[in-house]
Structure 1
Amino acid sequence: MRLIWTEDAMNDYHHNIDFLLERWTTRIAQEFIEQVEDILELIAIFPEMYPLSNYKSVRKVVIRKQISLFYKIDGENILLLRFWNNYQNPRKLKF
């Protein structure tokens, strides 16, 4: 299946990396990048591997306890919707 990054997902992803580089270390940021790459490989092969979230037809995978990825299967495509900070108010989460 083909992974498609939404603009929100791309912005969230880069924001998280920038935050890790500013507040933590390059090593921690690199670990996050590698975790995301590993999860995306799994999603591309096994798109239904992760459970449905509370949002209709949207799946959720916890990358780290602080960050979750929300995605949606759309035919032969997997839409990456958001890399969400789990400490934010979930009512602010929009797709």
Structure 2
Amino acid sequence: MRKIIWSPKAQKDYAGIIDFVLQRWTLKEVQQFVDQVENAISILQIGNIEFRKTKYRKLHVAVISEQISVYYRIHSSKMVEIVRFWDNRQRPSKLLKS
């Protein structure tokens, strides 16, 4: 099973999304988002599926919901780094600049 680490930006993105959802919707929607993230991370931990590669070096993307994707980097067969959570309505070219 792979170890999952979170970048500081990913931690900030995740907390920001939860805060945003809490301001606009209910705990039910927050829990749904958390469950979707946990599901994607479980898949990454097992390591038998890789999501779509991006044009950025060693960066992959998994769609969490219609609005949010998670970008991650495979460091080795034993470690994956969650790099960013990203609002799909933003331009991907801004991903590594922000």
Assess same fold via TM > 0.5: yes
Correspondence list, 1:42-57, <5 A: 42-46=43-47, 48-57=49-58
Identity value in percent: 36
- Is the CA contact (8 Å cut-off) linking 2:43 and 2:49 kept in structure 1? no
Q: Deviation at 1:63?
A: 0.2
Q: Which residue does the alignment assign to 2:83?
A: 81
Alignment length, in residue pairs? 95
SS at match of 1:3: strand
Q: Does 1:69 align with 2:70?
A: yes
Structure 2: stretches of 5+ with no match in the other structure: none
Q: Which residue does the alignment assign to 1:31?
A: 32
- How far apart in 1 are the matches of 2:5 and 2:42? 13
Q: Which amino acid aligns with 2:31?
A: Q
- Is the CA contact (8 Å cut-off) linking 2:36 and 2:64 kept in structure 1? yes
Q: Which residue does the alignment assign to 2:23?
A: 22
Q: TM-score, structure 2 length as denominator?
A: 0.90
Structure 1: stretches of 5+ with no match in the other structure: none
**Is the deviation greater in 47-56 or in 77-86?**
47-56
- Is the CA contact (8 Å cut-off) linking 1:3 and 1:44 kept in structure 2? yes
